[in-house]
Amino acid sequence: MFEGFEEERISVGEATIFVRHGGGGPPVLLAHGHPRTSATWHRVAPLLVARGFTVVCPDLRGYGRSRGPAPTADHRAHAKRAVASDLVAVMKALGHHRFRLAGHDRGGAVALRLALDHPDAVERVAVLDCLPISEHLARITPEFATRWWHWFFFAQPGTPERVINADPVSWYRGDPDRMGPENHAEFRAATGNPDVVRAMLEDYRAGLTVDRWDEEADRAAGVRLRCPTLVLWSLRDDLEDLYGDPLAIWRDWADDVRGHGIDSGHHVAEEAPEALADALAGFFGP
């Protein structure tokens, strides 16, 4: 897994970020979602390297082997703004001051925040299987609340930690054949760590509070994505079922939007790596 890539831990102040990086050419930063680690990109990253890119795959703050500060009452320690700042610092430490960016699921919310807060660093951004958090919350329906109930369960104080840590293997189900055995083993080690579980829950708690407020403040101030934006979604997931055309929603956030669906379930980097790599490489260019 990740043959030819280097692994290191980079201190960015209040957090230490585990990162894999390899290849040569224009830099591409890949941000994973919940409850995965950087290993979720193990099939996509080599394909992008073969297409001429340098690829950087970090574990987000608190996920996998990355560590951040203790949770705070206002959840700011795990806000997307803090995670985005981590990633900018990681890229600078690796010598990349401008880069292409892709984020999946919760990593998509991080990618949005990074591109909004650090527009000079991001040449192009791809958001996968996600909408801005505030757009999800503005469209709550019984169907959304039923399918995405975990958002609101995770926000409860204390209870989800006790439930999940009592049997993380049953809670965080994963198929080693579909994920790849090494990716699955890394995922299993991470989700079996109570500190990682707490950080992942804080990600969601921040989402329903400070991240939503930060997005709403940007909308009120007219802050938009100025770089080209690619929106990709898994056709066997529920984004279209719940919201219709995701491009229509993203056009309220970005000046230049294009995208399409991919025949995959939610974990597209593991289930349809060739199609995803083709889409990203075509968008990110030489």
- Write the pLDDT tens digit of every residue in 58-97: 999 999 999 999 999 999 999 999 999 999 999 999 999 9
Judged by DSSP in three states, 167 sits in coil
User: Taking the model in full, what pTM does it have?
Assistant: 0.98
**Which of 233, 251, 255 minimizes the C-alpha distance to 242?**
233
* CATH class in words for 6-284: alpha beta
Distance, CA of 102 to CA of 143 (rounded, Å):
28
Task: Give yes or no for a contact between 123 and 227, defined as CB atoms under 8 angstroms apart.
Answer: yes
Average pLDDT over residues 16-26: 98
Which distant-in-sequence residues (6+ apart) come within 8 Å of 154 by Cβ? 160, 200, 201, 204, 205
- Residue 6, pLDDT above cutoff 80: yes
Q: Tokens 């209870």 — which residue?
A: 159
Average pLDDT over residues 177-194: 98
Determine the straight-line distance between the first and last CA of the chain, rounded to whole angstroms: 25
Distance, CA of 230 to CA of 71 (rounded, Å):
32
- Residue 286, pLDDT above cutoff 80: no
Cite the active site residues: 105, 266
Give percent of the chain with pLDDT exceeding 90: 100
Give percent of the chain with pLDDT exceeding 70: 100
Angle at 113 between CA 47 and CA 141, to 5 degrees: 95
